[in-house]
Amino acid sequence: MQNAKLQTEFSFLETRGKKRTKFSSPFKIQNLKRKYPKFIYQNYFYKISGENLEIFFDFKIEPDFSFKPKITIKNVGLLRIDLNKLKNLVFHLGLIEMISYWKATCSPTIEIKAGYLNKKQIRWWQDLIMKGMGQFFFENKIPFQKPKFLIGRASTESDGEEENKVLFAFPKSAKGILVPVGGGKDSAVTLELLSDFSKKKAEIRCFSLNPTDAAKKMMKLAGCKKPVVAERKIDKLLLELNRKGFLNGHTPFSAYLAFLTTLVASLFGQKYIALSNEKSSNEGNVKYLGRTINHQWSKSFEFEEKFRKYSEKYLTEAVEYFSFLRPLYEIQIAEIFSRYPKYFPVFLSCNEAYKTASGTKKPAKKWCGKCSKCLFVFMVLYPFLKKKEILKIFGKNLFQDKKLLPLLQQLIGERGFKPFECVGTRSECRKALKLGLKKAKKTGEVPYLLTKIK
């Protein structure tokens, strides 16, 4: 849909004079960069199919691979925005989508043919890649610390559009709140706390991407009427490359949601996007090559501020993106969540529950009881729930599992580094354990892990 004359290039410089590092992938990063020199964001396409908006992206890794991922936004009905504005929002969704495909080879050049970016935008995207992909760089031992590791080159022309600046507004009556729902405790708290406000001031509209059973049940319990649903389909070739050992790892998913929800809010006339990202997400996990690596960087306040400014200038002034739970820590959210028992049987925060090992297995769709996320959620809920309630949720007392002691020590900062999961800060984990111990002592039954608190 976009004029292909304009090109923007992101070039990765080779690091020289450094001792080679052993990489976790069987494919060496230097070999990949030589064999696959260029990643191209070729184009994007969209169409209305029935009541749905279908979006396709065209990515290429020269010389061998082509990808055509798809996302469908359901029941959009009549489009509410000018097609030129829609083009820009779809183009930007492709920019964040492409990172998932580029990471397979870390091609030294990323070439954007699908649209225009000015120099300020390029620097913004450089920053997002460097910080949002920190965990990926760490786990694959990629030396990204050079000041000129990522260089951007931009076309000096804009094809008649002034720096992609898009300013358009809904009618003054637009005041709805779009709430992304993933099925965890945080989005349930946002929905409940906003409910009284919405009755008086603005309508809440739920949104879910590839909704899980937990998300569907949660939206129903919250009384969400006509939730907006989107389906994202990963190109099967990427899954095949993952299975063959090409580079793989964490990408900034919350940044993806930022661009997607801005598009969705624009289509459905919602003024606000109320995320459920908390204060705890600001804490990093580990230092690598002189920089702090934060698994939750795209959930942090730093990213939120950067995205708000970028969106206002280059996407839309009509939509306000913010996190409703930003002032709260995870343990505070857990305490609030404990007041809403209707969600106990349905919420699910364990990421292991949804993993498919690049399409080789079916997701378990239940608490695994073995990962750091399960242990963390158990830890922060334990002080506030009755014993029978928490056992019913997890199926067992995780504090009695001796095998979880190393994970507990990581969570509280006594071993290694904080796990790469959406968990609370080290200090609030220690606070949760102290509250849990105090509660357990009153019952005269102190489980194993709580006896290990120093």
Reading phi first (left if > 0) and then psi (alpha if -120 to 50, else beta), residue 412 is in alpha
Quote the CA–CA distance of 142 and 151 in Å, as a whole number: 17
d(CA 239, CA 255): 21
Is the distance from CB of 128 to CB of 252 less than 8 angstroms? yes
Strands (E), 63-130: 65-67, 70-73, 109-112
Task: Provide the residue-wise pLDDT of the chain in tens; the chain has 454 residues.
Answer: 443 334 555 554 333 333 333 334 446 788 888 899 899 999 999 999 999 999 999 999 999 999 999 999 999 987 766 788 899 999 999 999 999 999 999 888 888 999 999 989 988 998 999 999 999 999 999 877 654 434 444 443 444 444 443 333 334 445 799 999 999 999 999 999 998 666 655 689 999 999 999 999 999 999 998 999 999 999 999 999 999 999 999 999 999 999 999 999 999 999 999 999 999 999 999 999 889 999 999 999 999 999 999 999 999 999 999 999 999 999 999 999 999 999 999 999 998 888 877 667 788 889 999 999 999 999 999 999 999 999 999 999 999 999 999 999 999 999 999 999 999 999 999 999 999 999 999 988 899 999 987 7
Q: How far apart are CA 378 and CA 192, in angstroms?
A: 21
CA distances from 250 to 211, 280, 419 (A): 20, 19, 13
What separation in angstroms does the CA of 313 have from each of 11, 166, 169?
25, 7, 13
Beta carbons within 8 Å of 11's beta carbon, 6+ residues apart: 108, 109, 110, 150, 151, 152, 153
Which strand (E) or helix (H) includes residue 60?
strand 52-62
- Answer for the pair 344, 389: CB distance below 8 angstroms, yes or no: yes
